[in-house]
């Protein structure tokens, strides 16, 4: 589902209110993060990526965890919107349980917000301060139909943990992903986003037979994940 500028303006207003109140707030409508879909931009296009870029592994996983450094960006348009996140489900299923950091340019400059989402429910954004250069670790853990979503800003020293139930969840995959539901990324410093410490059920990413996913960027560029590192838990996604 593509986010509209109106939707994201309403979300921004809700976030501002939440920041004053010191609470998390549900978006007034789905902001667009959700299952893996393919975009494609016409027959013969070489930019055949979708809304997800990174690695996904299929299986009935109970834990997905990863770390990253939130990149510095320059907004190219008010349509730019993307997030690195960690989650369970969504590649081949209609539910996703995920947590990460969204960078939204709808105001004309980059606004960083940590969030979680139990898709198809709307995302919930935290009011904790986030800055480019902050180090994050995120984990999603499943126990039956209950999911615990934890995200930590180890630079600023805060952690948010939320537990929710979703009886319709398929627990079909696990992933470490960057996503732009608007098919529009800002300019990312170095044109690279890196994940480290990626593990599913305690196994290294490499040991889970992961599938690489390319993310489309306006039909003119593609974010392509590189090979998994020698440690088996790290990889970078680069804009080409």
**Contact, 38 vs 134, CB < 8 A?**
no
Reduce the DSSP state of residue 10 to 3 states and report it.
helix
**Predicted pLDDT of residue 187:** 96
What are the distances in angstroms from CA 127 to CA 17, 20, 21, 133? 9, 8, 8, 18
Between strands 111-119 and 96-104, the pairing is antiparallel
Q: Of the candidates 238, 232, 239, which has an alpha carbon nearest to the alpha carbon of residue 66?
A: 232
**Ranges under pLDDT 50 in the chain:** 1-30, 43
**Predicted pLDDT of residue 10:** 35
What is the token pair recorded at 132? 């480019």
Q: What is the pTM of this model?
A: 0.85
pLDDT digits (tens, 9 = 90+) for 13-38: 333 333 333 334 434 333 567 778 76
**Predicted pLDDT of residue 47:** 55
Reduce the DSSP state of residue 103 to 3 states and report it.
strand
Q: How far apart are CA 200 and CA 207, in angstroms?
A: 9
Tell me the sheet residues that pair with 174: 57, 88
Tell me the sheet residues that pair with 206: none
What is the token pair recorded at 207? 């040991």
């Amino acid at each position: 589902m593509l986010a509209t500028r109106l939707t994201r303006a309403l979300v921004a207003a809700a976030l501002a209110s939440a920041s004053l109140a010191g609470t998390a707030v549900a978006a007034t409508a789905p902001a667009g993060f959700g299952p893996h879909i393919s975009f494609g931009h016409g027959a013969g296009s070489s930019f055949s990526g979708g809304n997800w870029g990174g690695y996904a592994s299929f299986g009935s996983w109970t834990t997905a965890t990863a770390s990253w450094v939130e990149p510095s960006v320059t907004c190219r348009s008010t349509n730019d919107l993307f997030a690195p996140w960690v989650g369970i489900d969504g590649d081949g299923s209609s539910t996703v349980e995920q947590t990460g950091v969204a960078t939204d340019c709808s105001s004309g400059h980059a606004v960083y917000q940590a969030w979680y989402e139990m898709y198809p429910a709307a995302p919930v954004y935290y009011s904790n301060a986030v800055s480019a250069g902050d180090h994050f670790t995120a984990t999603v853990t499943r126990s039956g139909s209950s999911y615990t979503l934890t995200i930590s800003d180890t630079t600023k020293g805060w952690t948010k943990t939320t537990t929710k139930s979703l009886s319709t969840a398929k627990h079909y995959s696990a992933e470490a992903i960057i996503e732009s539901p608007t098919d529009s990324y800002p300019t990312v410093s170095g044109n690279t986003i890196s994940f480290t410490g990626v593990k599913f059920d305690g196994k290294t990413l490499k040991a889970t037979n992961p599938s690489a996913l390319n993310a489309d960027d306006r039909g003119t560029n593609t974010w392509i994940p590189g090979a998994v590192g020698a440690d088996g838990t790290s990889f970078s996604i680069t804009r080409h």
